Homo-oligomer: A and B are copies of this chain.
Amino acid sequence: MGDATQGLQERLAMIIASTPPGDRLPSEPELARKLGVSRASLREAMRFFETQGVIHRRPRAGTYVMQPPAVIETGLEVLESIDTLASRIGLSVSMGDVSIQKRVSSPEEASALGIQEGTKVIDIRRSILTQKKAVAYLIDIVPEGVISDEEMRGFQGSVLDLLLRRGSPPLQSSRCEINVVQANRELAKIFGIQRGDGLLMFKAWLYTVSGQVIDYSFSYFLPGYFRFHVVRRVGQVFSPTPNLST
């Protein structure tokens, strides 16, 4: 994307975020004037958010901010922290040792986060315990600067919850890849299992509304303790229902 595009998307994201869901955005000429760009460039940026389902454009009527889903579904469709999930499915959990360190990013991490290789990142690792037994192990990689030193010191729960509570930058969605990995020595020790035993792994990219990855995470789950499910619709995805609040 272009140089100015990044900034434009970010500023447009803020305007969208500060518009109550269901409300109409200012007209395109007005927005373009306010953002200091041409209407063509603005429309391209808006197409980005339209593709993501954040806004809905109705010809000759205006552009509306989409209403986020009203009901909280159980399952993977809605992003929630493991802590929230665990307590909801009746697991009384506690947090094991937390490891927080600032270090330079690996090439893979830099690529995932869309940052320069070698830029510093914050590496947060923690385990989730139930009855003194680890059932989940979570690794969060966030670019330096996203979380301040003060926030890091007072860190108690999940990175996601911290970002949600803080409210900025506004979060959009998480792309979560599902996989199975064999426990290496480190993971086997953490979970108290044999090396090579299967673990459920989620690799996730957390996106802000401006399309930037703000958190790159690995979550390992001991089989049997969590039950993730997803509702898969039959048919095509295209043409999402407007779902506008009047």
Q: Contact residues of A with B, CB < 8 Å? A: 1-2, 17-21, 40, 43-44, 47-48, 50-52, 57, 59, 68-69, 72, 76-80, 164, 167-168, 170-182, 196-200, 204, 209, 211, 221, 223-224, 227-241, 243, 245
Contacts and interface: CB of A to CB of B under 8 A. Distances in A.
A62 to B, nearest CB: 15
Nearest to A229: B177
What is the copy number of this chain in the assembly? 2
B177 A180 contact: no
Given A44-B43, A51-B48, A198-B198, A20 B238 contact: no
A178 B228 contact: yes
A182 B197 CA distance: 8
Given A231-B173, A234-B172, A238-B209, A197 B200 contact: no
A179 B200 contact: yes
A77 B233 CA distance: 6
A236 B163 CA distance: 11
Given A79-B232, A233-B78, A239-B17, A198 B180 contact: yes
Given A47-B47, A76-B230, A235 B168 contact: no
A51 B47 CA distance: 9
Given A182-B197, A209-B238, A241-B18, A173 B223 contact: no
A182 to B, nearest CB: 6
Nearest to A174: B232
A198 B180 CA distance: 7
A159 to B, nearest CB: 13
A31 to B, nearest CB: 15
Contacts of A40: 40, 43
A80, A170, A209, A229: most-surrounded residue (chain B CB, <10 A): A229
Contacts of A221: 180
A1 B230 contact: no
Contacts of A79: 232-235
Nearest to A223: B180
A141 to B, nearest CB: 18
Nearest to A170: B238
A20 B238 CA distance: 9
A179 B228 CA distance: 7
A66 to B, nearest CB: 11
Contacts of A182: 197-198, 223
